[in-house]
Structure 1
Amino acid sequence: MILINLLPHREEARLKRKEAFKVAVVGSMMLGALLVAVVYLVYQSSLTDQRERNETLKAEIKSLEVQIKEISNIEAEIAALKARQKAVEDLQSDRNAQTYLMNELVKQLPDGVYVTSMRQEGQTILIQGVAQSNQRVSEVLKNFSSGSPWFARPELLEIQAGTVNLSPRDQRRVANFGMRFQLLRASDVEKAAEAAAKK
């Protein structure tokens, strides 16, 4: 006996292939969706980690900014304390400055030179005086510039010829002068002495 298959086997094979294709497409779509979800979750996780790191860095930056402000405040306080300390040291060292000034004036003024007035503005001393001649005034300048450790930068402001009446009959020609120089602080004199001793 011969068996004949009258069923549409080609159609069934085609339907099976279509269903297999549909299953493969749905499986591929599901696999693709799964891959997309995994990639999305990985990126979200890395974004979250980066945001947390950024927040941590921002918090650290704020903390460091506060510390920087505190440091700048401390530096300002230190500078103010140093300025006060220097002022106290200057006052302490300048306590005897007038004595040194008078002592040095006596030593450095040659015979025939007289101081008529003296004024101090800070560390600058202005003197007015009378000398027997212009040579005596130049001697004063020389003595002030190189003969005294307490005086610096002497400068002749003016010199004028004048006369002095010693008696009704005796008149002498003199040179009236004005001079300016710096009175050094005791600390500066000590530093200069130490530098000279090292040479």
Structure 2
Amino acid sequence: MILINLLPHREARRKRRKAAYFAGLGVAAAAGLAIVGVWYLVLQQMTSAQQERNAFLGTEIKKLEVQIKDIATLRAEIESLKARQKAVEDLQIDRNVPVHVLNELVKQTPEGIYFTSVKQDGQNLVVAGVAQTNERVSEFLRNTANNSEWLIKPELVEIKVANPQGQPAGSREQKRLFDFSVRLAVKRPQDKDKAAEAAPGMPKPASAASAASAAVAKKA
């Protein structure tokens, strides 16, 4: 019987397996490091590209902010110019309104009334005067409410018995007069034109004059 010693062969095989195992581990580690390195480089490149884009966007945003400020300044200047233009146009339109107002007061004021003051504040007009009778004041209110082209919305502010100078309050010869005050609205030329275009044939409402006349009768 022949005996063969296989121990050296087994030991050599074990060593080869062990070497192959460690070699595989080394290859796997190297491959892993290579993959990690490549992925790191890719991330670095992507980060750099994103940073460049962010820097570009920041620069463009700053440019847009400057442009927005310029646009806001231009808009403010445009609004200011529009306001000035409107003010000039309003002055141009309204320059003849006082003439029309005085002309209307002359036309619509009945006999037996004279004015002591006429004050205009924008589109509001307040007239004060003396009337012989309450009916004269009522007629003035009706005229301005129904017949006037420039004076509208008459409103009686006050009416009271006047005491002429030089006569005592209880004198029988005292002539009875009435102090009155009336508030009116003044039409602007553009409002007048719009009203004429909207309803050229419609009569003006007499509700304001009727109410004012009732107030005159009540205060008397």
- What is the TM-score when the length of structure 1 is the normalising length? 0.84
Shift of 1:3: 10
Query: Deviations 1:109-146 (Å, cap 9, x if unpaired)?
Result: 12322212212333332211112222322332233234
Q: Which residue is 2:27 aligned to?
A: 27
> Higher strand fraction: Structure 1 or Structure 2?
1
**Could you say what secondary structure the match of 1:149 adopts?**
coil
Q: TM-score, normalised by structure 2?
A: 0.77
* Deviation, structure 1 residue 77: 1.0
Change (3 A) 1:39 1:146: farther
CA distance in 2, matches of 1:197, 1:61: 58
Matched residue SS, 1:181: strand
- Report if the CA contact (8 A) 1:132-1:173 is conserved: yes
Percent sequence identity over aligned pairs = 51
Go from structure 1 to structure 2 and tell me whether the alpha carbon gap of 1:197 and 1:48 turns closer, same or farther (over 3 Å shift): farther
Q: Tell whether the 8 Å contact from 1:131 to 1:174 is kept in structure 2 after alignment.
A: yes
**What stretches of structure 1 of length at least 5 have no aligned partner?**
none
CA drift of 1:5 comes to 6.2
* Aligned partner of residue 8 in structure 1, secondary structure: helix
Question: Counterpart of 2:58 in 1: which secondary structure?
Answer: helix
Please give the root-mean-square deviation of Cα atoms over the aligned residues, in Å: 2.7
Matching of residue 174 in structure 1 with residue 177 in structure 2: yes
Amino acid at match of 1:122: G
* Higher RCO (CA < 8 A, seq sep 6+): 2
Q: Matches of 1:60 and 1:20 in 2, distance apart?
A: 59
Letter in 1 for 2:198: A
Asked whether the 8 Å contact 1:90–1:185 carries over to 2, the reply is: no
CA distance in 2, matches of 1:6, 1:88: 120
| 1:13-69 CA distance string (max 9 Å, x none) | 111111111110010001011111122222222222222222222222222222221
Give 1:40's aligned amino acid.
Y
CA positional deviation for 1:99: 1.2
Secondary structure of the residue aligned to 1:120 is strand
- The Cα of 1:170 is off from its aligned counterpart by 5.6
Greater Cα offset, 95-104 or 127-136: 127-136
* Distance of aligned partners of 1:78 and 1:176 in 2 relative to their CA distance in 1, 3 Å threshold: same
For 2:6 and 2:89, how far apart are their aligned partners in 1? 125
Q: C-alpha distance in 2, partners of 1:132/1:198? A: 35
Per-residue CA deviations over 1:128-165 (Å, capped at 9, x if unaligned) read: 11122223223322332343232233332211112558
Moved over 4 A (4+): 2-7
How far, CA to CA, are the matches of 2:64 and 2:149 in structure 1?
Answer: 51
Superposition pairs for residues 109-188 of structure 1, below 5 Å? 109-163=109-163, 171-188=174-191
Change (3 A) 1:76 1:197: farther
Q: Quick one: distance in 2 between partners of 1:83 and 1:31?
A: 76
User: 1:189 is matched with which residue?
Assistant: 192
Q: How many equivalent residue pairs? A: 196
Unaligned regions of 5+ residues in structure 2, if any?
166-171, 203-220
Give secondary structure in 1 for the equivalent of 2:179: strand
Tell me, in whole angstroms, the C-alpha distance in 1 between the residues paired with 2:134 and 2:86.
Answer: 41
1:146 to 1:63, Cα distance in 2 relative to 1, 3 A:
farther
1:43–1:152 Cα change, 3 Å: farther
